[in-house]
Amino acid sequence: MLFFPNCKINLGLKITGKRADGYHNIETVFFPVPLRDAIEIIDNNASLETVEFTQSGIALDGLQNDNLCIKAWQLLKNDFPTLPSIKLHLHKAIPTGAGLGGGSADGSFTLVYLNQKYSLNLSENQLLAYALQLGSDCPFFIINIPCLATGRGEQFQPIQLSLSGYRLVLVNPGIHVNTRWAFSQLTLTEPATNNTVNFKQSLSSIVSGSIDQWKDNLTNDFEMPVFEKFPIIQSIKETLYEKGALYASMSGSGSSVYGIFKDIDIPSLNFPNHFLINYSAL
C-alpha cells in the first residue's frame, strides 16, 4: 500500500494564551498544499512485534522511535493486539522543522491507511482521537480540507475556501525553527477575551474576502521573533512581495515562507541553491 501525505500552510496564526495543560490556544486557518511525502506499508512476515522502518529523501532528525508513523502503529497496536508487524518506508520530500506539518501528516495518514489496510473499522471521530494523541495539528490531516482551527489546533470548522486560479510559491531556507523556542518568545494575552472572538470573526471574514486584502490583515504571531533571530526568513517574505505576490507569510512557527500569485504572474526567482522552491497549482 502506497500513499502520499500532503503538507499544509497556515493562513493567519494567532496564539491566544497558554492553557493549564501546558499547551497553547491558537486560531488559524489550515490549508492543505500538494507537496507530498510518500509512504509504503507492507506486511512483515518476520515474527516481529514492531515496525521495520526505513527512510529516504530529506534526512530526519531525532530518534527513529520518535517518528510519528511508528507511534501511529503503536497506538493502534495497543488497542488491536492482532495488528501485524509491518515494513514501513518513508520518503521525505516535505522539509522538516519548517512549519508545514509534514511529520504530523505522515503520522495521521499512517493511521488512516492502517485502518483501511487491516479493516479496523475506525470511524472518523476515532481516528481524530488517535491523531490528537500524536500531536496538536495531527487531527487536521484526518479531515484534510480548509478549516478554521482553534483550541490546540484540534477544534475544526470547515470553511469554503478555494485558491484555484492562483499559484503557490513555497520557499524553505533550510533553517530548523524550534517550535518550543518560538512559543517562548511570545507575550501572551488572556485567552478568553473579546479580542479572541473578534479575531476569529475577522479571520473567517478575511480569508473569505479578496486575497488583495490579506496583506494588511492576515498576520502570523510567530513572524516577529523568528524574523528577529533569522533575518533571512524575513527577506524571503519581502522578496516574494517585491516579485508580485498578492499575499506572503511564514507558515506555522517557520521557517518556510509562501507567496500566493495570480496564475499568470509567476515570477522568475533566484534564491540560493539550498532553498527549496516549489510551484504548486492550488
Give catalytic residue positions: 8, 137
DSSP 220: B
Question: Hey, what's the cell of 168?
Answer: 503557490
**SS3 label, residue 281:** strand
Task: Calculate helix-pair angle for 102-117, 124-134, nearest 10 degrees.
Answer: 140
Q: What is the pLDDT of residues 257-278, one digit of tens each?
A: 999 998 777 777 777 655 666 6
Q: What is the pLDDT of residues 103-133, one digit of tens each?
A: 999 999 999 999 999 999 999 999 999 999 9
DSSP 127: H
**Whole-number pLDDT of residue 194:** 40
Per-domain boundaries in the chain: 2-156, 163-281
DSSP alpha helices (H): ranges in 157-261? 179-184, 194-208, 223-229, 231-242
**Whole-number pLDDT of residue 97:** 86
For 44-61, what is the mean pLDDT? 87
Residue 197 confidence (pLDDT) above 70? no
CA dist., res. 189 & res. 83, Å (int)? 45
Residue 75 confidence (pLDDT) above 80? yes
Which positions ≥6 away from 182 have C-beta within 8 Å?
222, 225, 226, 253, 254
Output the average pLDDT for the chain.
88
Instruction: Say which residue, 186 or 149, is predicted with more confidence.
Output: 149
**Whole-number pLDDT of residue 153:** 82
Which of 31, 37, 36 lies closest to 9, judged by CA? Answer: 31
CA dist., res. 126 & res. 132, Å (int)? 10
**Whole-number pLDDT of residue 276:** 67
Asked if 258 and 169 count as a contact pair (C-beta separation under 8 A), the reply is yes
CATH H superfamily, domain 163-281 = GHMP kinase, C-terminal domain (3.30.70.890)
3-state helix, strand, coil in the chain (%, to 5): 35, 30, 40
Instruction: Say which residue, 127 or 197, is predicted with more confidence.
Output: 127
Which positions ≥6 away from 269 have C-beta within 8 Å?
169, 171, 239, 243, 277
CA dist., res. 35 & res. 20, Å (int)? 35
Q: Which fold has domain 2-156?
A: Ribosomal Protein S5; domain 2 (3.30.230)
Asked if 233 and 226 count as a contact pair (C-beta separation under 8 A), the reply is yes
**Whole-number pLDDT of residue 193:** 41
pTM metric for this prediction: 0.90
For 151-161, what is the mean pLDDT? 88
CA dist., res. 187 & res. 80, Å (int)? 43
